Amino acid sequence: MAESTYITKTKYCSGVQCPKMLWLKTFRSELLDNSVMNQAVLEAGTKVGELARGLFGDYSLVEYGDPNKMAQKTKALIATEEKVIAEASFLYDGLFCSVDILKNLGEGKVELYEVKSSTSVTDIYLHDVSFQVYVLEKCGYTVSRACLVHINNQYVRGKELELDKLFAIEDLTSTVRLMQPEVQDRVKTLKEYVTVTTGRETSPSSNRLCAASAHISLKMPIFSLSSSICASVNSIRSSVVRPVSTISSLYPSRASNGENCAARSIMRIWGRRCEI
């Protein structure tokens, strides 16, 4: 199976927001309008994720590459009783996910930690973590704990950076367990949706959030958007819903200097005070 046809946790979350966005990412990625994506924010999120890997001490990293090889490497690390694995990867029936931090408890039991550069839990993060739990347990593992790791913006740094204080850990296990039947149903629905390889790009979205998800190439008039969603191209752009992980949207007073503001905000984390 080609990598582009796997339903990853990112694509799953896209499907939660709007199935058409998932379809476009799978089959017509050239139509996606990524102009609203802040590269500085993405890079800052990557830096936070890399920093969080050391939260539980030494770890083994599964390097990004072919999903099958990543899954094989993960299986081998678990078999050799590696305690902490970063980017541990799992494949099941066309589903693929990489866990930011996996704690291997032995005897098939694991804990997963999803890292976000935000300061709180949002609904889409619950869907993200619940999908990972679904995939891991379909692979035969028991997820004893499923958590979200995010920035603690009350942390005041001393001489040394203390990762256990910089990051807050939210235990989402009970909530994502309740979501498992929903995940199973949605996976089936999304798989059926992406079996149609042509024509979806010209059909209107059935989701009101679609126009606010910024997955449409606004220069291309092929999308039939309801006038109740937007009156013009400009209204679509102005109504874009930016994720909570966009630090500058959380703290607009700090967004005074363009695209790099969020990245600088993240970098302040290991400055004097974590006021992102």
| DSSP three-state, residue 169 | strand
CA 229 – CA 235 distance, rounded (Å)? 9
CB 64 within 8 A of CB 70: yes
pLDDT given for residue 62 in this prediction = 97
CB 96 within 8 A of CB 6: yes
Fold of 1-276: Lambda Exonuclease; Chain A (3.90.320)
pLDDT given for residue 33 in this prediction = 67
* Domain ranges across the chain: 1-276
| Statement: residue 51 has pLDDT above 80 | yes
Q: What is the mean pLDDT of residues 44-69?
A: 92
pLDDT tens digit sequence for 104-135: 999 999 999 999 989 999 999 999 999 999 99
CA distances from 78 to 50, 110, 246, 275 (A): 21, 10, 34, 37
Please, what is the end-to-end C-alpha distance for the chain in angstroms? Answer: 41
Tokens read off for 217: 């190439």
Q: Which residue has the higher pLDDT, 184 or 252?
A: 184
The residue among 273, 12, 234, 20 whose CA lies nearest residue 152 is 273
